[in-house]
């Protein structure tokens, strides 16, 4: 009967991390080295911020009216401050000291505005502390000048339109068709209204705003330093190292390999039978090493759980081999194959008190080799007085590690683990 694959347990993960901690440490160190190296390879950058207060300057083009109380769209103003036109003007302002193109200025500039405010924060990232401060101030100045020029151009256009309308009204007033008093009065009203509008445009405040916080020369770069990038490299190294460790498929993970591999699985007493020509000799020693009471009370049995990996063609199960070894030492033992018991009964509490009473005073060897569920093996182990594991050097180390971890999690101590050579080696040793 094939054993169904077991799900990954937390003990598997913890054991894998513990066994391969050097891989994790190595990846973490490499990550730190890479992070620190990157901090010196990345060019230093500095950022400075200039704060501008924006004044409303709104001339209604359709009605030619001026309403200074209307709020401006800060999203629009942020777009203007980030525009190519402002960048080109800032490039001209920086030209005496720094050669920075308009495109580079656009890429180095970030505009933000606090909610419900008329404030623009102009952040500029430069190659040096002085350049970053100069760049932020230049963009702010270029933005205000661009806004002032745009407002002045709009006022000039509206004034020219108003003057043209007044001239047209004057021409109409001289026309014979408008000589009546009513026509003349109507034309005068229109001319007076345009004159008033023209006077308002002449008094329009062209102040676009002002710098309320000039950029200061930054004392430290904005790019992350060795400590920051080193810590980031450490985290990245751990994020890479841990999955590598968990996904490693080494030979030691697939086969026990030998006595050292078995010791590496956990703290347990190990009987090395890999050099014994006769397998029964190893079981005789195992029977001697097990701490079985000399006298067993008549009220209860002494239960020994024996577990091994199922092997095709095996004639005698390890539990029967232990029972035979105990018999050779003068101890009568009853062999019970747990694989023949319904696993549902085991999960619900087999052996029951009634079954224990029927075994009272006996040594009972319960063989779990043919059980498919590790959970049921652990359940039987918690109900046993002693646990013995039998493995060969080619058995699945990961499966044994998982079972041993589950037993430890339930407080079950492995009394003894007997290690045997694989069956072909046993044959060759016999020859």
Which of the residue ranges 113-117, 171-175, 211-215 would you say has the lowest mean pLDDT? 171-175
332 and 260 housed in the same domain = yes
Domain of 24? Answer: 10-42+225-247
Least confident of 99-103, 122-126, 160-164, 284-288: 160-164
What DSSP line would sit under 51-72, residue for residue? EEEEPP--EETTTTEE-TTSPP
Q: Is the pLDDT of residue 63 over 50?
A: no
Of 115-119, 123-127, 196-200, 330-334, the least confident: 196-200
Which pTM was predicted? 0.47
Query: Do residues 373 and 277 share a domain?
Result: yes
* Same domain? 297 vs 360: yes
- CATH assignment of the domain containing 336: 3.40.50
pLDDT greater at residue 410 or residue 26: 410
DSSP state of 176: G
What's the CA gap between 128 and 121, in Å, rounded? 20
Strand 119-126 with 363-367, pairing: unpaired
User: Which pLDDT value is given to residue 251?
Assistant: 44
Which comes out higher in pLDDT, residue 414 or 233?
414
Q: Name the range with the highest mean pLDDT among 65-69, 176-180, 412-416.
A: 412-416
Shared-domain flag, residues 31 and 176 = no
Residue 392's SS3 state is: strand
Residue 205 pLDDT:
67
Helix 21-41 with 10-19: angle, nearest 10 deg: 70
**Structure tokens of 262?**
């078995």
Which of 67-81, 182-196, 352-366 bottoms out in mean pLDDT, i.e. has the lowest? 67-81
Residue spans of alpha helices (H) in 114-211: 129-173, 181-202
Higher pLDDT, 171 or 330: 330
Q: Is residue 218 part of a domain?
A: no
Can you give the CATH number for the domain in which 179 is found? Answer: 3.30.1890
Cα(82)–Cα(7) distance, integer angstroms: 57
Most confident range, picked from 199-213, 259-273, 394-408: 394-408
Q: CA-CA distances (angstroms) from residue 69 to 77, 208, 209?
A: 17, 14, 14
Strand segments (E) across 227-332: 270-272, 302-308
């Amino acid at each position: 009967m094939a054993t169904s694959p077991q799900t990954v347990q937390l003990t598997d993960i913890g054991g894998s991390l513990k066994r391969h901690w050097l891989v994790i440490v190595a990846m973490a160190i490499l990550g730190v080295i890479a992070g620190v190296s990157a901090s010196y390879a990345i060019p230093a950058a500095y950022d400075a911020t200039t704060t501008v207060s924006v004044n409303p300057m709104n001339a209604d083009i359709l009605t030619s009216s001026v309403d200074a109380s209307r709020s401006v769209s800060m999203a629009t103003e942020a777009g203007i401050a980030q525009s190519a036109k402002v960048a080109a003007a800032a490039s001209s302002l920086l030209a005496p000291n720094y050669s920075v193109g308009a495109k580079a200025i656009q890429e180095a500039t970030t505009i933000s505005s606090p909610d419900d405010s008329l404030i623009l924060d102009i952040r500029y990232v430069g190659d040096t502390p002085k350049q970053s401060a100069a760049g932020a101030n230049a963009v702010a100045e270029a933005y205000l000048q661009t806004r002032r020029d745009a407002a002045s151009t709009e006022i000039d256009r509206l004034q020219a339109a108003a003057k043209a309308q007044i001239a047209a009204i004057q021409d109409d007033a001289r026309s014979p068709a408008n000589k009546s008093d009513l026509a003349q009065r109507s034309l005068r009203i229109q001319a007076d209204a345009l004159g008033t509008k023209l006077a308002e445009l002449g008094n329009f405040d062209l102040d676009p705003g002002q710098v309320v916080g000039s950029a200061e020369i930054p004392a430290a770069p904005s790019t992350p330093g060795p400590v920051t990038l080193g810590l980031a490299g450490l985290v990245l190294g751990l994020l890479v190292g841990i999955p590598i460790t968990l996904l490693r498929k080494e030979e030691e993970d697939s086969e026990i390999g030998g006595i050292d591999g078995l010791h590496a699985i956990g703290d347990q007493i190990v009987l090395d039978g890999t050099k014994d020509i006769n397998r029964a000799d190893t079981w005789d020693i195992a029977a001697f090493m097990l701490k079985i009471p000399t006298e067993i009370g008549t009220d209860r049995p002494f239960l020994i759980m024996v577990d091994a990996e199922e092997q095709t063609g095996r004639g005698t199960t390890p539990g029967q081999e232990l029972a035979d070894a105990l018999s050779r030492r003068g101890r009568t033992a009853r062999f019970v194959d747990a694989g023949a018991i319904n696993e549902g009964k085991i999960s619900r509490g087999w052996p029951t008190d009634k079954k224990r009473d029927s075994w009272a005073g006996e040594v009972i060897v319960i063989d779990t080799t043919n059980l498919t569920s590790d959970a049921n093996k652990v359940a039987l182990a918690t109900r046993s007085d002693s646990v013995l594991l039998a493995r060969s050097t080619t058995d699945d180390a990961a499966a044994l590690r998982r079972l041993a971890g589950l037993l430890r999690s339930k407080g079950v101590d492995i009394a003894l683990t007997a290690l045997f050579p694989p069956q072909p080696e046993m044959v060759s040793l016999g020859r």
